[in-house]
């Protein structure tokens, strides 16, 4: 078991890198998805495509709420969206990807584009049960030095624990990473704040902010169910964190929650927050449709980040 970084008086779960649940794609689904995505993008989406990507300069980050696949969304159901989700991930080739609302079968069906990634974290109800809101790390680009998980509750080490006024169990997964060719570490958090509990969102922000104290430069990303002017986001902003998208697009009103109907993105609920030691070079909200179909009810958000 790895020693914890930035210990606090609250217990935190640090997991051995060999303990995490691993996703495996079924061969037939992988072949079908590769063909579908390749046709959609006009190029071959073969396994290992990430190995061919130019390493470039900076850390590529993405957060993506892919909308749980058992929802009765009619024409926006998962079967009509999964190739679009896969294509966004493939084109962006993030070094670290935070996914929200990923059910086990959805992640298996995305195996073709996630094959070069290492999955970090349980699902929120333990094991593979319920939503996955953890991290995928591209080990062709970065190395995981340490990682852990905790639940957003007064008992963060209790698997599946529900906190404060939250409607559901929520959690955070963190990874301390470094480039394969060396360099100083960065700690990345992936999370999904509760959609109903106001107290839970505030306390969740405080919990993560405390965990990140005295550690390496930190990124907090996910569907936070919060707009920029909210009190919980103020917990991060008061510590010098900045929104990667706001820094690079200071005048933009583009949101991230389209609800399968709003091309403007509605409210901006999905964020990549950077502590003061990190600088965004670029950021993007993927406000796109293909033949009238939305990839998800949330737009993906990406950023290219360097140390200041």
- What is the per-residue pLDDT across 262-291, written as a single tens digit (0 to 9) for each? 999 899 999 999 999 999 999 999 999 999
Q: 220 lies in a domain?
A: yes
Provide the residue range defining the domain that includes 82.
23-51+58-307
Q: 16 lies in a domain?
A: no
Q: What CATH number does residue 82 fall under?
A: 3.60.10.10
Q: Are 271 and 245 in contact (CB under 8 A)?
A: yes
Q: Are 296 and 268 in contact (CB under 8 A)?
A: no
- What is the per-residue pLDDT across 67-113, written as a single tens digit (0 to 9) for each? 999 999 999 999 999 999 999 999 999 999 999 999 999 999 999 99
Q: Are 64 and 298 in contact (CB under 8 A)?
A: yes
Q: 128 lies in a domain?
A: yes
Cβ-based neighbours of 19, under 8 Å, separated by 6 or more: none
d(CA 272, CA 224): 10
Q: 215 lies in a domain?
A: yes
What is 91-153 written as a DSSP string?
HH--SEEEEESB-HHHHHHTHHHHTTEEEES--TTSTT-S-B--EEEETTTEEEEEEEEEESS
Mean pLDDT of 238-256: 98
Chain centroid offset of residue 262 CA = 22
Provide the pLDDT for residue 69: 97
Provide the pLDDT for residue 12: 47
Chain centroid offset of residue 252 CA = 22
Domain count, the chain: 1
Q: Are 6 and 103 in contact (CB under 8 A)?
A: no
What is the maximal distance between C-alpha atoms in the chain?
Answer: 53
Q: 198 lies in a domain?
A: yes
Q: What percent of the chain has pLDDT over 70?
A: 82
Q: 68 lies in a domain?
A: yes
Q: Are 302 and 89 in contact (CB under 8 A)?
A: no
Q: 254 lies in a domain?
A: yes
Q: 153 lies in a domain?
A: yes
């Amino acid at each position: 078991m790895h020693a914890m970084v930035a210990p606090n008086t609250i217990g935190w779960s640090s997991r051995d890198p060999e303990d995490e649940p691993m996703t495996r794609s079924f061969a037939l689904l992988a072949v079908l998805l590769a063909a579908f995505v390749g046709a959609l993008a006009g190029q071959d989406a073969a396994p290992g495509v990430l190995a061919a990507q130019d390493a470039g300069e900076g850390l590529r980050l993405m957060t993506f709420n892919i909308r749980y696949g058992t929802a009765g969304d009619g024409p926006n159901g998962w079967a009509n969206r999964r190739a679009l989700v896969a294509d966004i991930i493939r084109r962006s080739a993030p070094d670290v990807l935070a996914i929200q609302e990923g059910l086990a079968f959805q992640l298996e069906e995305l195996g073709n584009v996630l094959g070069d990634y290492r999955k970090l974290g349980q699902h929120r109800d333990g094991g593979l049960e319920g939503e996955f809101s953890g991290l995928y790390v591209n080990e062709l680009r970065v190395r995981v030095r340490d990682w852990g998980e905790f639940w957003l509750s007064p008992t963060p080490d209790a698997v599946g624990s529900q906190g404060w006024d939250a409607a559901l169990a929520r959690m955070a997964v963190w990874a301390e990473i470094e480039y394969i060719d060396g360099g100083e570490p960065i700690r990345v958090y992936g999370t999904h704040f509760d959609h109903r509990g106001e107290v839970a969102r505030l306390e969740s922000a405080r919990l993560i902010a405390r965990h990140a104290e005295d550690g390496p430069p930190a990124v907090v990303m996910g569907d936070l169910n919060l707009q920029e002017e909210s009190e919980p986001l103020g917990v991060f902003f008061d510590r010098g964190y900045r929104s990667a998208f706001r820094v690079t697009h200071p005048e933009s009103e583009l949101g991230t929650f389209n609800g399968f109907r709003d091309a403007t993105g509605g409210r901006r609920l999905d964020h990549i927050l950077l502590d003061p030691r990190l600088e965004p070079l670029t950021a993007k909200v993927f406000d796109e449709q293909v033949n009238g179909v939305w990839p998800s009810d949330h737009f993906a958000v990406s950023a290219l980040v360097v140390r200041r």
